[in-house]
Amino acid sequence: MVRHNLLRFLNGLATRFYARQYRDIFRKDFSRDLFAGEVVRSITWPASADGSGPLRQSYSEASGVKARLAEASGVARAAFNLNLDDFSTQSRRNSRYDYGGAVGEGVNKILGGLMAAHPELRVTLFAVPCAHYVNSHGIFYGTTWHKGRFSLAHPANRPLIAWLKSLAPRLEVAIHGYHHFRSWPPLFLAAAEFEFASREESLERLCRALDIFASAGLSVSGFRPPAWGIGYNSDFGLLSALRDLSGQDTDLGRSRDNAQQHARTIEHAHGRNQDQTSFKYVSASSPLSGLNWDRKRVSNIYPERYEGLLNLPQNVSLAWPTERILETVSKIVQMGGLVSLMGHMNAEDHWMEDGLGPRNLAKIEAVLEYLRREHAGKIWFATLAEIADFWHRIAHGPGAPC
């Protein structure tokens, strides 16, 4: 207890000291309204599981643009996804905390049971390729494995990879950083791995993460920055690196050359197509974090392009009270948006507010029951990768919904 209090004290001192020099992205304006400035958009979500189906051309006189929309028959009113951060190879067998690394045990078993009980549910796991977590005081979590064993590509983790693949296509695995850790400045925003990273440093970590996914035999479509650190303290180096990999910048200089060279290296080493080194989407915003931390840059309820990157917003948190969750879900559905319900891949909802403990499992059940009762057959349950594929498919011409 004395050690814990000392660490808390030191962490507080470090935060106050560095907050004078840097922007503290963990300080948020909770008075802001999630729906402020949102304008209802005409989106026809597909009802089919894979988001395919007949499409038609639609012209809007108001906007003067064209968009491809699903036919009226067999369409959904809104889309729904459950996404969980921090999935990794760590479990109670090798670490102090469980992030789903032991097949059939702990939170891994909880998620499997949840998906078995709700066949309609589709989940996106944001995975840390080579987990190296720290606690809220900037101190490493206790582990029993050498760091390399935490890589998703390590041979010891093949059963875990097989488990992930067995749940496809209902389960998507996306990238959530590389280590989920940064060491400087010490004890300040330690979980925000990319917050202080330059374009080149970000590119290197992203490529390492892609390497691990390729070696593990996992395809990847999306990326979410750890702790929503997109680079307010580094001239948004992460966003520049993501555009490098996606080929969105027109003048990328040496970083683009490095990205293309790395893409060729991955292609040669793993037999992958170069296109697979880019991301179909990023999930870089919540109502008060990421792209929307200091001001609103992207929609909280609709997919939207930001500087060439397709952003899929997170908008509902398992940390909220059930009443607030249901009220927000209802309004997003009424507006025809994407309900992105976020939690963390941890079984302890008392330690991690939005973990998959009993309290938050009850919230998920309440949401699914509400959707069944009030919007039966009108919700498209999809992974974020499926939503991105659908969005790219309808995004033809300058008047795309993005």
Q: What is the pLDDT of residues 99-150, one digit of tens each?
A: 999 999 999 999 999 999 999 999 999 999 988 765 444 445 555 666 688 9
pLDDT value at position 47? Answer: 77
Find out whether 15 and 24 touch, Cβ atoms under 8 Å. Answer: yes
Tell me the CATH number at 260.
3.20.20.370
pLDDT value at position 196? Answer: 86
DSSP codes of every residue in 61-120: TTTTEEEEEE-STTEESEEEEEEEEEE-S--TTTBSS-SS-STTSHHHHHHHHHHHH-TT
Rounded CA-CA distance 343/378 in Å is 24
pLDDT digits (tens, 9 = 90+) for 263-280: 544 444 334 444 445 799
pLDDT bucket at 258, cuts 50 / 70 / 90: low
pLDDT value at position 59? Answer: 32
Q: Is residue 215 in a domain? A: yes
pLDDT value at position 394? Answer: 83
**Residue for token digits 């109670």?**
92
pLDDT beyond 50 at 372: yes
pLDDT beyond 50 at 90: yes
**Facing residues of 379 across strands?**
78
pLDDT value at position 253? Answer: 41
pLDDT beyond 50 at 221: yes
pLDDT beyond 90 at 95: no
Question: What rounded mean pLDDT belongs to the chain?
Answer: 82
Find out whether 387 and 310 touch, Cβ atoms under 8 Å. Answer: no
More confident site: 135 or 316: 316
Count: domains in the chain: 1
Rounded CA-CA distance 395/124 in Å is 22
Residues 183-187 have a mean pLDDT of 63
pLDDT value at position 247? Answer: 66
More confident site: 142 or 351: 351
Residue 130 dihedral angles phi and psi, to the nearest 5°: -140, 80
Residue 337: domain span: 41-394
Q: Is residue 13 in a domain? A: no
Rounded CA-CA distance 150/143 in Å is 10
Residues 236-254 have a mean pLDDT of 73
Rounded CA-CA distance 386/402 in Å is 16
Rounded CA-CA distance 95/117 in Å is 29
Rounded CA-CA distance 50/389 in Å is 9
Find out whether 203 and 241 touch, Cβ atoms under 8 Å. Answer: yes
pLDDT value at position 274? Answer: 44
pLDDT beyond 70 at 248: no
pLDDT value at position 187? Answer: 63
Q: What is the pTM of this model?
A: 0.84
**Facing residues of 69 across strands?**
56
pLDDT value at position 193? Answer: 82
Rounded CA-CA distance 257/103 in Å is 40
Q: Is residue 371 in a domain? A: yes
3-state secondary structure of 160: helix
Rounded CA-CA distance 23/12 in Å is 15
Q: Is residue 36 in a domain? A: no
pLDDT bucket at 368, cuts 50 / 70 / 90: very high
Residues 346-357 have a mean pLDDT of 85
pLDDT value at position 148? Answer: 80
Rounded CA-CA distance 249/202 in Å is 16
Q: Is residue 316 in a domain? A: yes
pLDDT value at position 182? Answer: 66
Taking alpha carbons only, the member of 192, 198, 211, 193 closest to residue 152 is 211
Q: Is residue 12 in a domain? A: no
pLDDT beyond 70 at 21: yes
Q: Is residue 353 in a domain? A: yes
Residue 397 dihedral angles phi and psi, to the nearest 5°: 90, 170
Q: Is residue 193 in a domain? A: yes
Residues 210-229 have a mean pLDDT of 95
Structure tokens at 61: 């006189």
* Residue 118: CB atoms within 10 Å: 17
pLDDT digits (tens, 9 = 90+) for 55-80: 333 333 333 333 333 333 368 899 99
pLDDT value at position 65? Answer: 31
Find out whether 78 and 302 touch, Cβ atoms under 8 Å. Answer: no
More confident site: 390 or 95: 390
Residues 40-46 have a mean pLDDT of 90
To the nearest 5 percent, what fractions of the chain are helix, strand and coil?
35, 15, 50
pLDDT value at position 180? Answer: 78
pLDDT value at position 2? Answer: 60
Rounded CA-CA distance 310/236 in Å is 16
Q: Can you say how many angstroms the Cα of residue 263 is from the centroid of all Cα atoms in its chain? A: 23
